Amino acid sequence: MSTAAATTQETRARETLRRVTSGLEGGAVAGIAEIVKLVEALAANSLTISVSELAELVEKDVVVTAKVVAAANTLGYNPSGVEVSSISQAIHVIGFAKIRLLALSLMLMENAERTQGAEAQRETATLALTSGMMAQAWAEGQGRGDAEQAFLCASLRNFGRLLISALMPDDDRLARQQAEALGDPDAAYREVLGLTPLELGYELLKSSNLPEPLLQGLRQFSPTMLEAATLHPVDELLVAAEFSVRVSELALRPNLTPTQFGDASRDLVKQFGKHLRVDGDQIKSMFERAEQRMAAFGQAFGLQTMSRSVTGKLSARRQNKPLPGALPSVAAPRPPPAVAPLSSSSTAPGEAAGPPPTAASAGLPPPAAPGTNLPGTVPAEASASAAEPVKERRPLIEVLHETVARCAEMLGQPVVNEEAMAAVISAALLEGWAAEEVVVLLERGKGSFATSAGAGKRWREFRQKMGFRRDERNVLGVAVARCEPVLIHDATDPKIDPYLPVWLKGGLQLYSCIIIPGGDAKNSNSVLFVGWKVRQKVALAPEELRSLRALLGMVLTARRLAGV
């Protein structure tokens, strides 16, 4: 580049920075300035930002405040059922980091669903949130402790794009057109604006006192980074964020056929797989985790148009299907690819969608299933290879997602009934688990639990007998005392007979069951009982457990709202 050209580009870059800064300060685009401020709070060290400061920032937007508080009560973040009525209380109950990501996720979803005008702005907000969730899913799948930081790095790599599409739509449109013609987006943006969207975001956030590791994650990616035998720790989050943005762009691109997506995703695995320890199965796992989180946010925030659009695309991509609403290709049919785009494995009905059952095929240890196995039962980990379900049914996780959404709607009604909600949950689980009996029990007095509602043929006969006290030495008391699920695969095993209440075998005649306590170890005040009349290995995956405890928390919230 000549000296004159470099000077011209530098001048354009300064002008772009001036226009964007001026637009933000003047509140030119509703919602964007709040995201900028929240990004600064998100990025800063939590030790230097007080709870009251973060609460004050979030509470400036009444809609955001109401929805974050609602999510804190119903989204599985608050399984103990402690009533949350303010941002400050939500921070204390469910944690500083989770509230920060909840608020940022909500603001991005609001921009993606509610923005009037530029389609590019909606697309960019969607991409930012999807990229963050993909990176978070990658970090969780790798067992890392910096999943929040991975979310931030990936979502903030789209920050400059969001600002340009919101504040400079005409220039953004011109740069996009030139990018298509040149085949080089970075060159096109430098030609029009003097700098790339990533460089713009970096320059703006550099002055926001970002922690150095996060700022390093917003640098320009170079393929030469992947030539090293191993990644430097400083570069690893940057590379993971770049990968997450690229795979999200592919997943959301409407004009890619399943075959084209498969070819492109395999190319990404070849380029990034060694250093990030990902293959087709891990990408599928990332899609599943992001899909579930996006669906949960959409249900809790009441922004299901955006969430369904994304989850529909992610689901189609991991199943190697055309995107919803995509026009059929008119090109001549191509022979099927020699290698499946992602993974040929699939989730069996009733198994959790995340963590995926494909971990073993990727050379990783299988995830441990939560729960306490009493003497005479097989380890919960072994229950992943459970026998065929007694009845054909939809995947349990799908039923759980629908039930969480339905209960969230019930909590928003003028009149809330605890028993009605418990009955809805029981009926849904009877279908989802193909069980014979499902019962919800709640603490009514000091340590005394009684039946709230249930589903099945015989539970009403034993409704009064199913109560128990938390200090009893039976399977229900053990579950509550430890606040851990109890999985019983064969109730006829003599080793566990002393721990079984009379009504379980002799009354309901159940031989396999799962007992799930809600709340936490200090305040476990609800129990879900599910039973079968056949002896079988029963399974409970982490994602299922989180949803089930969220449902128990909703029942307690309903009881509190009803004034019981």
Residue 344 lies in a domain: no
Q: Give the residue numbers spanning the domain of 507.
A: 373-561
The list of the chain residues with pLDDT below 70 reads: 1-2, 26-51, 53-54, 57-64, 67, 74-82, 96-97, 111, 113-118, 208-211, 300, 302, 325-393, 520-522, 564
- For residue 182, what pLDDT is reported? 79
| Whether residues 416 and 523 fall in one domain | yes
Residue 480 lies in a domain: yes
pLDDT one-digit tens code per residue, 408-439: 778 777 788 889 999 999 999 998 999 999 99
Residue 300 lies in a domain: yes
| Whether residues 417 and 304 fall in one domain | no
| Whether residues 397 and 302 fall in one domain | no
Distance CA 218, CA 154 (A): 8
The CATH number of the domain holding residue 394 is: 3.30.450.40
- For residue 76, what pLDDT is reported? 57
| Whether residues 313 and 392 fall in one domain | no
- For residue 395, what pLDDT is reported? 84
Give every CB contact of residue 521 below 8 A, 6+ residues apart in sequence.
Answer: 482, 483
- Residue 488, phi then psi, degrees to nearest 5: -115, 115
Residue 224 lies in a domain: yes
Beta-strand relationship, 512-517 and 486-488? antiparallel
| Whether residues 407 and 512 fall in one domain | yes
Residue 340 lies in a domain: no
Q: Order of strands, edge to edge, in the sheet holding 526-532?
A: 372-373, 486-488, 512-517, 526-532, 437-443, 448-456, 468-469
pLDDT one-digit tens code per residue, 222-254: 899 998 888 888 789 999 999 999 999 999 998
| Whether residues 313 and 423 fall in one domain | no
| Whether residues 216 and 135 fall in one domain | yes
Number of neighbouring beta carbons within 10 Å of residue 417? 17
Q: SS3 breakdown of the chain: % helix, strand, coil, rounded to 5?
A: 60, 5, 35
503 phi-psi bin (left φ>0, alpha ψ -120 to 50, beta other) = alpha
Instruction: Pull the structure tokens for residue 322.
Output: 């055309």
| Under 8 Å between Cβ of 353 and 288 | yes
| Whether residues 297 and 389 fall in one domain | no
- For residue 350, what pLDDT is reported? 33
Beta-strand relationship, 512-517 and 526-532? antiparallel
| Under 8 Å between Cβ of 239 and 302 | no
| Under 8 Å between Cβ of 511 and 377 | no
| Whether residues 478 and 397 fall in one domain | yes
Number of domains into which the chain is organized: 2
| Whether residues 251 and 392 fall in one domain | no
Residue at which a domain ends, from 274, 300, 318? 318
pLDDT one-digit tens code per residue, 507-539: 788 889 999 998 765 678 899 999 998 888 888
Give every CB contact of residue 164 below 8 A, 6+ residues apart in sequence.
Answer: 16, 20, 171, 172, 175, 193, 197, 200
Verdict on whether the full-model pTM lies above 0.75: no
pLDDT one-digit tens code per residue, 346-383: 333 333 333 333 323 333 333 334 455 544 443 333 33
Residue 188 lies in a domain: yes
- For residue 341, what pLDDT is reported? 34
Question: What is the residue-wise DSSP string for 136-150?
Answer: HHHHHHTT-S-HHHH
| Whether residues 404 and 288 fall in one domain | no
- For residue 199, what pLDDT is reported? 92
The CATH number of the domain holding residue 232 is: 1.10.3210.10
Residue 515 lies in a domain: yes
Residue at which a domain ends, from 318, 339, 362? 318
Residue at which a domain ends, from 295, 318, 341? 318
The Cα-based distances of 510 to 272, 371, 388, 503 in angstroms read 50, 19, 18, 9
Number of H-type helices and E-type strands within the chain: 22, 7
Classify the C-alpha dihedral 179-185-186-189 as positive or negative.
positive
| Whether residues 299 and 448 fall in one domain | no
Classify the C-alpha dihedral 49-51-52-58 as positive or negative.
positive
Residue 17 lies in a domain: no
Taking each helix axis from N to C end, the angle separating 233-252 and 147-156, rounded to the nearest 10 degrees, works out to 60
- For residue 455, what pLDDT is reported? 93
